[in-house]
Amino acid sequence: MARPPLTLAALATAAVPGLEVRAVRAHTRKSHGAFDAVLLRTTDDRMLVLRVPRSQSAESEQSADLVALRALTPGIRSRLPFEIPEFVGQAPIDGTRAVVTTFVPGAVRSADELTEHDGIATSVGLALAAVHALPSGFIADAGLSRQTADESHEAVVELIGRAADTGHLPAALLRRWEEATDDASLWRFRPTVVNGALAADSLLVDGDAVTGLIGWASLAQGDPARDLHWLLTSRGAAAERALDAYFGARAGEADGHLPQRALLYGELELAKWLLHGVEARDEEIIADAVGLLDGLVESVHDHSSEPLSPETGPILTVGDVERMLDETPRENLPREAGASLLTDSYDFSDLERREAGERDTAPFDATAPIPLDLSDWGDAAQSDDAAAGADAATDAQARRNAASS
């Protein structure tokens, strides 16, 4: 049973000595029913949030979030272009504890809304890049998790194995995911600071600007692609702009295979949902997960899903790529198809396919390879040439219109 707001307001005065509450109301942002939470206005016009966990898992999450917030010192916070909550106080209650933090203003938007147009998509890309650009030393100082590239790879292999052991994982997806884990080039990256559990509802916005980021329980050092998986499943028209802004802000520090790994992590969210259903012995969740996995199989076999492990040539430095771009003639460049973001819209009509110049879908072949391309993503700087920019914009729109997830 949920605790009344007035009871929680009284608890806040115990958690923060000298606190005087002027107004209180229920607060549900990013609680998902796991917390009793209220928004408090104090007599000195501060806005605070008090949350009390309603389960053991919620209590563990809150404890991890508290450790992360304390690790994010004022010096670290000053490097971020947005606000994050600050710890204010805590008090025991019914075998657990209530935690009071500052309130970060801003609205929650869906992934599609966060990539709806260039302005907000650019702010999203810059916000994610700022997190990944943080110096990583404080992660070790706070005793937070640190995962190497090899360990990230091993964790993915283990997750895929567990999903396969349930007997519910389609063979086509198992093959697709194993091909990605077998591609050594995909796992050559430099670990960064990561939020670790970042989703669209983690970001708070005001107009076209990201103003806050909440939910830091999984703060760690690891694969930056983990924070971008939700971005590659968005259907916003400017999703590619968010990735452009991200790569631009990382200034060559982001590896070229990050989009493929982010896509893999996005697909593995379905495997996690399946495992949750199996572990909870919930047939409804299992059936839902199986349906979602079957939908992903369809998108793979109709070639509307992007590759996870494309064939690649020699690994080039940013300087090498920039020189190649400078030396490439701009006239009569061949048009390139099939390099767009994954979205979660899987079905296009035959008319749309004909307008996009595609041939009719070939008969289903569960053993056929899936040749897909994301080679245009990477850390190379883009040319300022106007004609090339126009061609690139046209190509990107054509690819997006032809792609689905």
Mean pLDDT by 10 residues, the chain (405 residues): 89 96 89 87 96 95 96 97 97 95 96 95 98 97 97 98 97 96 96 96 96 97 97 88 96 93 95 97 97 92 68 41 48 42 39 46 44 48 42 46 43
> Distance of CA 330 to CAs 327, 335, 375, Å?
9, 12, 19
pLDDT of residue 396: 45
Q: Rounded distance, CA 383 to CA 359, Å?
A: 32
Q: Rounded distance, CA 140 to CA 77, Å?
A: 17
CB atoms under 10 Å from CB of 12, counted, come to 23
| Identity of residue 74 | P
Maximum separation of any 2 CA atoms in the chain, in Å: 72
Q: Rounded distance, CA 255 to CA 190, Å?
A: 8
- Ranges in the chain annotated CATH 3.90.1200.10: 107-302
- Ranges in the chain annotated CATH 3.30.200.20: 16-102
Return the HEC string of the chain: CCCCHHHHHHHHHHHCCCCCEEEEEECCCCCCCCEEEEEEEECCCCEEEEEEECCHHHHHHHHHHHHHHHHCCHHHHCCCCCECCCEEEEEEECCEEEEEEECCCCEECCHHHHCCCHHHHHHHHHHHHHHHCCCCHHHHHCCCCECCHHHHHHHHHHHHHHHHHCCCCCHHHHHHHHHHHHCHHHHCCCCEEECCCCCHHHEEEECCEEEEECCCCCCEEECHHHHCCCHHHCCCCCHHHHHHHHHHHHCCCCCCCHHHHHHHHHHHHHHHHHHHHHHHCCHHHHHHHHHHHHHHHHHHHCCCCCCCCCCCCCCCCHHHHHHHHHHCCCCCCCCCCCCCCCCCCCCCCHHHHHHCCCCCCCCCCCCCCCCCCCCCCCCCCCCCCHHHHHHHHHHHHHHHHHCCC
Q: Rounded distance, CA 223 to CA 204, Å?
A: 23
pLDDT of residue 347: 41
Is 107-302 a CATH 3.90.1200.10 domain? yes
Report which of 238, 239, 245, 244 is spatially closest to residue 266, judged by C-alpha positions. Answer: 239
| Ramachandran area for residue 192 (φ above 0: left; ψ -120 to 50: alpha; else beta) | beta
The tokens describing 264, both together, are 């893999």
| Identity of residue 154 | E
Q: Rounded distance, CA 19 to CA 43, Å?
A: 8
Task: Please provide residue 284's backbone torsions phi and psi, each rounded to the nearest 5 degrees.
Answer: -65, -45
Is residue 247 within 8 Å of 145, Cβ to Cβ? Answer: no
| Ramachandran area for residue 276 (φ above 0: left; ψ -120 to 50: alpha; else beta) | alpha
On the CB side of 5, how many CA atoms lie within 13 Å of its CA? 13
Report which of 305, 128, 341 is spatially closest to residue 232, judged by C-alpha positions. Answer: 341
Q: Rounded distance, CA 51 to CA 5, Å?
A: 11
pLDDT of residue 392: 45
CATH architecture for residues 16-102: 2-Layer Sandwich (3.30)
